Structure 1
């Protein structure tokens, strides 16, 4: 048994998160950024050209750059290619050989390569705290907050959040800087953290707390829109003609309204009516560039 091929899905948004039970706020002087298991082995389970992967890598990249500017330590977890059965243990029963069966996929994905001053922890179990010096490192630096990003939200990321809580570290789960086996499991994980052990928030809120503005668009607005819209109409991004009427292709009003709300939160205010009256990607590019 191994990790299956994973479906594309629309990245959850902050308005889908259950109300956080606590009002903790990220403090750059107390926080550590965790980039969890963003290795080729795990990301290659998806179609990298489709949501949520392009948005995931962009969001983590923004947080990583902001952390550097704010002096927040960045910690990566990465599984090794050498995992004797005595070390891998019960993981074999659930997931097979893992990375030892695909050593060529050990690297962190392009665009998120660790810098020389970052810490890369060897990952042995779901939680980043297990068999690692993470808690001691944080204690030595006087830090007791963990900003969690990466894959997979309902497995290692959620386990790390729960163990952080149990070790008196405040976990912050970044809704749109995580990915999972499915949208349903992604939502389950972010809602569990919000209700039981931490704070779930989007990257824009996190960046504001860190003191850095978010990048409100991908370099290619049309390409970014294709990535966002494709899973909503169950099409491949490259199959969407910029002049196609998206309503005729199956984009319903509820999904369009959610997209309008997401864009507005990103600092590109556009109304649902404006999108509905001009339902092509080319029209939306013009609207967003103007916004």
Structure 2
């Protein structure tokens, strides 16, 4: 009943997506981004070094940065560990007892997508992110009626959340290359169902194509302040002296790569200062543009 080890497969690309039945267009002023169940526990069933997981994480990082840049609310779901059998109810028959107490640390969202203090993290009780949560009420309070969905697993929680969004007059957008599943067949099943029954299937690039062009020095400074947890910094000072470590530099390099800015870990680590990093980022985004 538990999840088995998941074999690697190639994430479907835009050219192979099924035709959408509607012509809805994502609108930053109407949208909410949902990052679904990107917990260590669920990602551990994949090969962590696979292209599948690298693509998934990079595209979700790009989507989140696009959301931040456009003032789009970002919502996460995360399943709790050690749920009582009565609370899980019918889920026990399908999946067993859920996340055991021994996986307490694994229930955390992966580091590359760690929620910011302004993001909303919902406790996930059922397939749909709307079930036993205040997601619908939050979206109504924000006056938002579009939900952009990425994460795992495509044909279970992501697809069912899209269905329930549709049932509540919210336009769902399933990002086909920012979700992953048990297999390519089940991944494509989700794309087919959403595109033909309840929403739009889109790809990351089409949605965030303008993101690298609006990357600014102010954005970089704010990002560095988050990395080192400092309110003020000398733009010429070595960031290592502020407590920046190699892991966070590596994660930042991965985030930049996900946005189409190819600056390596080695380049960032060679002279880690705000001014030098901005020179690198600005030069590479001009090339990317």
Q: Which category describes the TM-score, using the shorter chain as reference length?
A: 0.7 to 0.9
CA distance in 1, matches of 2:181, 2:106: 19
Question: Alpha-carbon deviation of 1:218?
Answer: 6.1
Using structure 2 for the length normalisation, give the TM-score: 0.73
Using structure 1 for the length normalisation, give the TM-score: 0.73
Pairing 1:125–2:126 present = yes
Q: More helix per residue: 1 or 2?
A: 2
CA distance in 2, matches of 1:201, 1:166: 20
In structure 2, the CA distance between the partners of 1:114 and 1:290, relative to structure 1 (3 Å rule), is closer
Unaligned runs of 5+ in 2: 213-257, 265-286
Is residue 59–residue 203 contact of structure 1 (8 Å, CA) maintained in 2? yes
Is residue 82–residue 98 contact of structure 2 (8 Å, CA) maintained in 1? no
Q: Which residue is 1:37 aligned to?
A: 37
- Among candidates 194, 197, 216, match of residue 260 of structure 2: 216
SS state at 1:52 partner: helix
Is residue 35–residue 76 contact of structure 1 (8 Å, CA) maintained in 2? yes
CA distance in 2, matches of 1:212, 1:109: 23
Count of residues in correspondence between the two structures: 222
In structure 2, the CA distance between the partners of 1:25 and 1:82, relative to structure 1 (3 Å rule), is same
SS state at 1:196 partner: helix
Cα-Cα RMSD: 2.0
Q: Which residue is 1:114 aligned to?
A: 115
Q: Which residue is 1:94 aligned to?
A: 94
Pairing 1:57–2:57 present = yes
Unaligned runs of 5+ in 1: 221-288
Question: Alpha-carbon deviation of 1:16?
Answer: 1.1
CA distance in 2, matches of 1:113, 1:12: 26
1:173-226, CA deviations, whole angstroms, 9 ceiling, x for partnerless residues? 001100000011101101111111100010011114xx5247236656xxxxxx
Question: Alpha-carbon deviation of 1:51?
Answer: 2.5
CA distance in 1, matches of 2:76, 2:114: 10
Deviating beyond 4 angstroms after TM superposition, the runs of 4 or more aligned structure 1 residues are 217-220
